[in-house]
């Protein structure tokens, strides 16, 4: 019999709150966390808005600890410590070699990279910090979590652009199913609101330039969408085998039903226009979960608010669900695109939707687009008894990942 993988802890850092309760309340109320960038002066940028996480203070970290980590690692640690605390796992009675971490990042320590490169260019090699390389590495979030919690089992960082967080959760679930671990901390983190990142994405014409209306800038599936809004944050789940969680009397919050992964093999940034790669991942996730499309009660779309992505994903939805499309929303409309953290944070939103019977809205949906004719949860949350939710994460490079999140019964 296949090992069931359950969720016993969740943690989040986001532009609308740095704990599960605050984050979820904001999503259900349709509250935007997008504003004018204050991490740096964005006056010279064509896009001057983002979803920034504020007042991030991980448990047990001193000011010195924080300075020794890149910002993305600090966000990862905060989310992971929240999830670990909620799970109630104690290493006093666990085999540390059976407890691991998969925490990825799409870009990693770009704050440190930009800061230290500036020092190098203007001050020479002696101005570069000896902590530069460790802080930049994409795997350091996973490493720091393991160090702080004493987790000596499987440990790695997935790096697959905007599919990173979902890939991390899927890989962690499969690690448990393979019998290689009993407990895994999984998710993604990103902190890329720095001048170089904003300039780079803006040069691609990927970012919204609705600078005068930040809260209305991220508008997935709306006809007037003009690009995505960058966000920062982290999402972390504690996953366990059902047997392990039940043996220790854990409160089970939900279940990882299945995961599907494909690659468009089409273009470095654009999705396949017909959405076939995403559709294949969605079908694979349903097969992995041993369920059909008719059982999905909520769909959290990748929905970036870009012209090509939203149109292609709509075609994927029509392919998989036909005329029985479930309610659809993109929570990026409220928090922006968290890149490597997006899949993990959106998986948490799905688990909360299943738990509470509330489907978060797709805000700023004012003008329907004929190319994005989906069952959109427009502007206000819906109440619905949902047992299964699906979340899509699609990344540059053609990476497609779909997760099935279900109520634990």
As annotated, the active-site residues are 162, 302, 337
Neighbours of 105 (CB within 10 A): 33
Residue pair 387/407 in contact by the 8 Å Cβ criterion: yes
Nearest to 168 by CA among 249, 79, 86: 79
Q: Is 155 helix (H, G, I), strand (E, B) or coil?
A: strand
Nearest to 99 by CA among 176, 168, 171: 176
Only one residue has tokens 């502007």, namely: 379
Q: Kindly provide the b/e burial profile for residues 135-174, where b requires at least 16 CB atoms within 10 angstroms of the residue's own CB.
A: bbbbbbbbbbbbebbebebbbbbbbbbbbbbbbbbbbbbb
Report the alpha-carbon angle 275-407-390, nearest 5.
5
| Pairing verdict, β 49-51 and 99-104 | unpaired
Element (H, E) at 46: none
Query: 278 Cβ partners below 8 Å, 6+ apart?
Result: 262, 264, 271, 272, 302, 312, 313, 316, 392, 394, 400, 402
Phi, psi of 45 (to 5 degrees): -90, 145
């Amino acid at each position: 019999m296949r090992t069931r993988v359950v969720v016993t802890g969740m943690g989040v850092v986001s532009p609308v709150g740095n704990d599960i309760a605050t984050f979820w309340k904001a999503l259900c109320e349709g509250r935007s966390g997008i504003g004018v960038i204050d991490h740096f002066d964005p006056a010279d940028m064509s896009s001057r808005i983002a979803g920034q996480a504020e007042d991030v203070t991980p448990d047990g970290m001193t000011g010195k600890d924080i300075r020794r980590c890149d910002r993305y690692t600090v966000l990862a640690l905060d989310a992971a410590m929240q999830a670990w605390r909620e799970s109630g796992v104690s290493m006093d009675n666990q085999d540390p070699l059976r407890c691991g971490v998969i925490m990825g990042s799409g870009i990693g320590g770009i704050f440190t990279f930009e800061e230290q490169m500036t020092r190098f260019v203007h001050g020479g090699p002696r101005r570069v910090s000896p902590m530069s390389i460790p802080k930049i590495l994409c795997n350091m979030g996973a490493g720091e979590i393991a160090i702080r919690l004493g987790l000596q089992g499987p440990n790695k960082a997935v790096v697959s652009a905007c599919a990173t967080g979902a890939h991390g959760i899927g890989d962690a679930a499969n690690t448990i199913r393979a019998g290689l671990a009993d407990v895994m901390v999984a998710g993604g983190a990103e902190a890329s609101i720095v001048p170089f990142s904003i300039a780079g994405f803006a040069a691609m014409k990927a970012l919204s330039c609705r600078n005068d209306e930040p809260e209305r800038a991220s508008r997935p599936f709306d006809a007037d969408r003009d690009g995505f809004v960058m966000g920062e944050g982290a999402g972390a789940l504690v996953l366990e085998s059902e047997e392990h969680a039940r043996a220790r009397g854990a409160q089970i919050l939900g279940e990882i039903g299945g995961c599907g992964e494909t690659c468009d093999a089409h273009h470095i940034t654009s999705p396949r226009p017909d959405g076939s790669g995403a559709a294949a991942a969605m079908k694979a996730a349903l097969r992995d979960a041993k369920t059909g499309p008719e059982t999905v009660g909520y769909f959290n779309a990748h929905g970036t608010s870009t012209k090509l992505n939203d149109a292609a994903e709509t075609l994927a939805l029509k392919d998989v669900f036909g005329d029985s499309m479930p309610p659809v929303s993109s929570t990026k409309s409220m928090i922006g695109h968290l890149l490597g953290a997006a899949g993990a944070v959106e998986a948490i939103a799905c688990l909360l939707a299943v738990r509470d019977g509330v489907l978060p809205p797709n805000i700023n949906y004012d003008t329907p687009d004929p190319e994005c004719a989906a069952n959109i949860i427009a502007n206000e949350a819906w109440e619905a008894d949902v047992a299964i939710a699906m979340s899509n994460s699609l990344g540059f490079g053609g990476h497609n990942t779909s997760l099935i999140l279900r109520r634990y019964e």
